[in-house]
Amino acid sequence: MKENMTSTMICITDERDIPAEYRDTPIERLLLNHNLMLRPDRYERADMLVLMCMDNRQELRLPENSAFFVRNSGGTQNGVAFSISFAVAVAGIRYIAVIGHSDCMMVNLETRKKDFVEKLSERFMWDRAEAERHFMDMCAQFSKTDAADSVIAEVEFIRSQYPGVIAAPLFYSVEDHMLYLIGKDSYL
């Protein structure tokens, strides 16, 4: 992940807010359906993949059958790369929305080590050393210092792996339940 990135959150409240790159695409449909609460149509086939965190506070308003969803800790491709490749290769997906969110528990994950180890060992009878080893093995893979920067890094990775696929960096605010486009000169 690049350090010292600065990003701007762009709230989409009108069709005119959509950058040209995403107009008339499933990304535009996602932003408009979710933020403007448009009455969604029903689709016969998904034409987009949404990669997002497993956090239960995120609920997207999308047309039925319009997207594949891949959710994991932190909304990264770690551990789900095959699912993404399958959607792109076999299902023909050409649009991927990578969605980070506010108040993500994977930000500064190392601060949760004590609680993680204690709960696994006390509640679930894990050997304490094994619980600690498990945390340490996974922490480097899922921890992030900034949720928006993590989304940008994931978008860069996806774009490098799947040329021609449109990957959009988005951010879900758990406070206002709106989707924001993460703006940075090279991403819009």
Q: Give the pLDDT confidence score for residue 95 in this predicted structure.
A: 98
Q: Give the pLDDT confidence score for residue 2 in this predicted structure.
A: 34
Q: Give the pLDDT confidence score for residue 3 in this predicted structure.
A: 36
Q: Please, what is the average pLDDT of the chain?
A: 89
CA distance 23 to 59: 23
Q: Give the pLDDT confidence score for residue 186 in this predicted structure.
A: 45
Q: In the chain, pLDDT over 90 holds for what percent of residues?
A: 68
Q: Is pTM, for the whole model, over 0.95?
A: no
Q: Give the pLDDT confidence score for residue 92 in this predicted structure.
A: 96
pLDDT at 140 over 70: yes
pLDDT at 108 over 50: yes
| CA distances for 100 relative to 44, 164, 172, angstroms | 27, 22, 6
Residues 33-88 have pLDDT tens digits of 999 988 767 788 999 999 998 888 888 988 888 999 999 988 888 889 999 999 99
CA distance 102 to 143: 14
Burial 30-56 (b: 16+ CB within 10 A, else e): bbbbbbeeeeeeebeebbbbbbbbebe
3-state secondary structure of 12: coil
3-state secondary structure of 121: helix
Least confident stretch, 85-99, 133-147, 172-186: 172-186
User: Which has the higher per-residue pLDDT, 184 or 180?
Assistant: 180
Say if residues 66 and 47 touch (Cβ distance below 8 Å): yes
Residues 19-33 have pLDDT tens digits of 999 999 999 999 999
